[in-house]
């Protein structure tokens, strides 16, 4: 049987899992960690780093490290790592390459196929970019699975005998999705999905970081946001404070040596309460309830008709999220599913279903929906005037997939010999407010009076969220087709081949992930490198404390003692400032 894995390619962290008999199981990284940070960087020798090795240098080398690239998927933006430029697809491919490497190390054999999850509200361009990233990483991605659907699979595996309505509320590091499902006789049927692919826990971090930056400016008159390295430290402190506030009412925030004024180092010591944090992020959290309402409306359900609410995504651990969801539905969300691992475990279940390894054991089956309305641009007559730019839906949002639907349109002008088919997704009446997907021209239409020639347009939307559009001139039978996978931002075949070779070359030349059993392989990060260089320059009678702190910091990194590493890093920063 082919070896296939399930991958949760997350904004903040990524995971890989497989079916171990009839149970999904997370594959640990070579360090033993269950999650791999979705961070890519270059070390001081310009070798590629992926995972915690890259994350450890976010604060010290922000210009050579990138995180949260998932938010850029499907765009034409480029990411700079030092002097190198990468596409978001290439950065994601490096993360997938690390997961593939972990899986192959675990199995002792090649892994070349995967089910990869994406937010339900990902656009076609974002889905195609994700498939391309898998290709660059050496993975065949035959199935793109919506994240809340994957989480529902992980939940449903243990509840096959129940008949119930389930809402999966998925708030990750950079995206939010909600799906409404009906479960009966081992069938998981997605009824509706909605979401916001520009909202997640990273936005909470930035809101708190902005608050801290303003406090530093108020106390010391300096703007740390103008210093990428200093603000990266503030962001990391904000993220850690957010995590701690899920378990405590207030946390101290200490940023020694965060800046300088008149040649003297400046440090920040403060505190953030849970109430203060919730005031900063409350509006964002409450905004997630609007897509929840939309999904319930599409599913023709009230909040009280929902049997269970499953919270997924690390950001769902924020207590205000739990309270807001509980208040909206009038019941406590389910706590039995690990919010960090549910999506990866569900992807593994889908992988098992795909190759037939678990279908006879579980009887589980799942259906999904198209989360967007898909249609074409048309012109309509208003009296004697022809109004263009009108959106005509062909496949309504939340239609069960795979689906194929056909609508008939007529020519709008006398003697018209061709039509331009422009495809959009969205729900606005005018196409200018929707997302453009692609276009093509249909020629060879017989001339005649306006309205005399009719053209059928068929939309076929598959389980991977890929759209095929076919146009047929009814009087002649001539057909023209467009597969919506050629967005302007997408790599060409030649570009993908070049990028795949580049990633494979850099992977083999670099040290992409940390050595086994080492918490932080990048101990030679910028801070240590600077400190050791400074040591070499100092006279021996001035190296005492600096030498000692360098040694203890390096040892803490090697042993994975996070608390000790943080203390020594802070002291090392202070010492370097004092020596300037």
Q: pLDDT tens digits for 377-409?
A: 999 877 778 899 999 999 999 999 999 999 999
Choose, from 43, 147, 514, 569, the residue flagged as catalytic: 147
Helices 319-329 and 274-287 cross at an angle (nearest 10°) of: 50
504 found inside a domain: no
* Residue 362 C-alpha from the chain's centroid: 29
Share of the chain above pLDDT 90, in %: 60
Q: Distance between CA atoms of 425 and 391, rounded to whole angstroms?
A: 9
CATH of the domain at 209: 3.90.640.10
519 found inside a domain: no
CATH of the domain at 171: 3.30.420.40
Number of Cβ within a 10 Å radius of residue 537 = 10
pLDDT of residue 538: 74
382 found inside a domain: yes
CATH of the domain at 450: 2.60.34.10
Top-confidence range, 152-161, 319-328, 522-531: 319-328
The SS3 of residue 455 is strand
Structure tokens at 77: 């933006």
Q: Distance between CA atoms of 50 and 256, rounded to whole angstroms?
A: 27
Q: Are residues 387 and 344 in the same domain?
A: no
Choose, from 43, 124, 132, 170, the residue flagged as catalytic: 170
Pairing of strands 4-8, 113-118: parallel
On whether the CB atoms of residues 97 and 50 are closer than 8 A, the answer is yes
Q: pLDDT tens digits for 340-384?
A: 999 999 999 999 888 776 654 556 788 889 888 999 999 987 777
Q: pLDDT tens digits for 168-208?
A: 999 999 999 999 999 988 888 999 999 998 899 999 999 99
Q: Give the domain-ending residue among 325, 349, 370.
A: 370
Q: For residue 517, what pLDDT band results from cuts at 50, 70 and 90?
A: very low
Half-sphere exposure of 8 (CA within 13 A, CB side): 39
pLDDT of residue 277: 98
Q: Are residues 472 and 541 in the same domain?
A: no
Q: Are residues 341 and 378 in the same domain?
A: no
Is 147 an active-site residue? yes
Query: In degrees rounded to 5, what are phi and psi of residue 436?
Result: -75, 130
500 found inside a domain: no
26-48 average pLDDT score = 91
In the predicted structure, residue 15 carries a pLDDT above the cut 90: yes
The SS3 of residue 20 is strand
Q: pLDDT tens digits for 286-295?
A: 999 999 999 9
Q: Are residues 20 and 102 in the same domain?
A: yes
Q: Are residues 543 and 557 in the same domain?
A: yes
In the predicted structure, residue 109 carries a pLDDT above the cut 90: yes
Q: Give the domain-ending residue among 350, 370, 390.
A: 370
502 found inside a domain: no
Q: Distance between CA atoms of 473 and 479, rounded to whole angstroms?
A: 7
pLDDT of residue 365: 80
In the predicted structure, residue 524 carries a pLDDT above the cut 50: no
Choose, from 8, 102, 278, 554, the residue flagged as catalytic: 8
Top-confidence range, 360-369, 472-481, 551-560: 472-481
Structure tokens at 388: 């263009």
Q: Are residues 102 and 18 in the same domain?
A: yes
Picking from 182, 121, 169, 193, the residue whose alpha carbon sits closest to that of residue 365 is 182
| Bigger pLDDT: 505 vs 95 | 95
Q: Distance between CA atoms of 317 and 248, rounded to whole angstroms?
A: 12
513 found inside a domain: no
Structure tokens at 248: 């405590």
Q: pLDDT tens digits for 38-77?
A: 999 998 888 999 999 899 898 889 999 999 999 999 888 9
Query: In degrees rounded to 5, what are phi and psi of residue 98?
Result: -65, -40
Q: Are residues 307 and 178 in the same domain?
A: yes
113-134 average pLDDT score = 91
In the predicted structure, residue 569 carries a pLDDT above the cut 80: no
pLDDT of residue 363: 66
Q: pLDDT tens digits for 428-441?
A: 999 999 988 889 89
Q: Residue 565: give the domain boundaries.
A: 526-579
Q: CA distances (Å), 411 to each of 39, 377, 415, 457, 474, in order?
A: 52, 13, 9, 13, 12
Q: Distance between CA atoms of 50 and 101, rounded to whole angstroms?
A: 11
pLDDT of residue 521: 35
Q: CA angle, 71 as apex, 65 and 75 as ends, to 5°?
A: 100
254-271 average pLDDT score = 85
How many domains does the structure of the chain reveal?
Answer: 4
Cβ-Cβ contacts under 8 Å for 369 (sequence gap 6 or more): 190, 191, 192, 193, 397, 398, 399, 400, 401
Q: pLDDT tens digits for 198-248?
A: 899 999 999 999 999 999 999 999 999 999 989 999 999 999 999 999 999
552 found inside a domain: yes
Give the number of residues written for the chain. Answer: 580
Cβ-Cβ contacts under 8 Å for 483 (sequence gap 6 or more): 466, 467, 468, 469
Q: Are residues 322 and 195 in the same domain?
A: yes
Q: Are residues 447 and 550 in the same domain?
A: no
Choose, from 64, 70, 97, 354, the residue flagged as catalytic: 70
Element (H, E) at 531: helix 526-537
Query: In degrees rounded to 5, what are phi and psi of residue 344?
Result: -65, -40
Q: Are residues 11 and 101 in the same domain?
A: yes
Write down the pTM of the prediction: 0.80
Q: For residue 421, what pLDDT band results from cuts at 50, 70 and 90?
A: very high
Structure tokens at 414: 């006398």
On whether the CB atoms of residues 470 and 421 are closer than 8 A, the answer is no
Q: Distance between CA atoms of 334 and 274, rounded to whole angstroms?
A: 23
Is 77 an active-site residue? no
- Helices and strands (H and E) in the chain: how many: 15, 27
Q: Are residues 181 and 36 in the same domain?
A: yes
Structure tokens at 47: 């070798």
Q: Are residues 119 and 22 in the same domain?
A: yes
Is 227 an active-site residue? no
For the chain, the average pLDDT equals 87
Structure tokens at 324: 């807001």
476 found inside a domain: yes
Q: Give the domain-ending residue among 282, 313, 329.
A: 282
The span from the first CA to the last CA of the chain, in angstroms, equals 62
């Amino acid at each position: 049987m082919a070896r296939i894995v399930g991958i949760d390619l997350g904004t903040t962290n990524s995971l890989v899992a497989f079916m171990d008999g009839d149970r999904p199981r997370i594959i640990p990284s070579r360090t033993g960690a269950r999650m791999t940070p979705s961070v890519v960087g270059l070390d001081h020798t310009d070798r590629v780093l992926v995972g915690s090795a890259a994350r450890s240098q976010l604060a010290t080398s922000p210009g050579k490290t990138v995180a949260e690239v998932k938010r850029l998927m499907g765009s034409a933006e480029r990411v700079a790592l030092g002097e190198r430029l990468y596409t978001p697809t290439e950065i994601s491919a490096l993360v997938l390459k690390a997961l593939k490497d972990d899986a192959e190390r675990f199995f002792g054999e090649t892994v070349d196929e995967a089910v990869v999850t994406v937010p339900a509200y990902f656009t076609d361009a974002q889905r195609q970019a994700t498939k391309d990233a898998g290709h660059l990483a050496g993975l065949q991605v035959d199935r793109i699975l919506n994240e809340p659907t994957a989480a529902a699979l992980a939940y449903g595996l243990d509840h096959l005998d129940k008949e119930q309505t389930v809402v999966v509320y998925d708030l990750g590091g950079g995206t939010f999705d909600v799906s409404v499902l009906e479960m009966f006789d081992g069938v998981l049927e997605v009824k509706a999905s909605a979401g916001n692919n520009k909202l997640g826990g990273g936005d909470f971090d930035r809101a708190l970081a902005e608050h801290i930056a303003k406090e530093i400016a108020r106390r010391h008159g300096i703007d740390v946001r103008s210093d990428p390295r200093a603000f990266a430290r503030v962001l990391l402190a904000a993220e850690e404070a957010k995590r701690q506030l899920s378990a405590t009412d207030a946390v101290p925030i200490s940023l020694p040596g965060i800046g300088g004024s008149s040649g003297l180092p400046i440090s920040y010591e403060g505190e953030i309460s849970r109430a203060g944090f919730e005031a900063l992020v409350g509006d964002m959290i409450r905004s997630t309830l609007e897509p929840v309402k939309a999904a319930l409306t599409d599913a023709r359900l009230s909040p009280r008709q929902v049997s269970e609410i499953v919270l997924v995504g690390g950001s769902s651990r924020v207590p205000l999220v739990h309270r807001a969801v509980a208040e909206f539905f009038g019941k406590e969300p389910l706590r039995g599913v690990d919010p960090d691992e549910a999506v990866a475990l569900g992807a593994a279940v889908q992988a098992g279903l795909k190759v037939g390894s678990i279908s006879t054991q579980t009887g589980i089956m799942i259906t999904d929906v198209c989360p967007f309305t898909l249609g074409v641009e048309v012109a309509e007559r208003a009296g004697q005037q022809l109004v263009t730019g009108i959106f005509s839906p062909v496949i309504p949002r939340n239609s069960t997939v795979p689906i194929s639907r056909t609508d008939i349109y007529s020519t709008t002008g006398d003697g018209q010999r061709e039509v331009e088919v422009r495809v959009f997704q969205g729900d606005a009446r005018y196409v200018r407010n929707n997302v453009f997907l692609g276009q093509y021209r249909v020629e060879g239409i017989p001339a005649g009076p306006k309205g005399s020639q009719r053209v059928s347009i068929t939309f076929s939307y598959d389980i991977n969220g890929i759209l095929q559009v076919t146009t047929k001139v009814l009087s002649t039978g001539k057909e023209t087709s467009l597969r919506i996978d050629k967005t302007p931002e997408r790599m060409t075949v030649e570009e993908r081949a070049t990028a795949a070779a580049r990633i494979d070359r850099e992977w083999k030349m670099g040290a992409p992930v940390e050595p086994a059993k080492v918490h932080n392989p990048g101990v030679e990060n910028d801070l240590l490198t600077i400190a050791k260089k400074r040591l070499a320059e100092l006279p021996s009678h001035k190296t005492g404390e600096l030498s000692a702190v360098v040694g203890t910091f390096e040892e803490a990194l090697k042993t994975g003692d996070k608390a000790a590493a943080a203390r020594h890093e802070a002291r090392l920063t202070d010492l370097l400032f004092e020596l300037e």
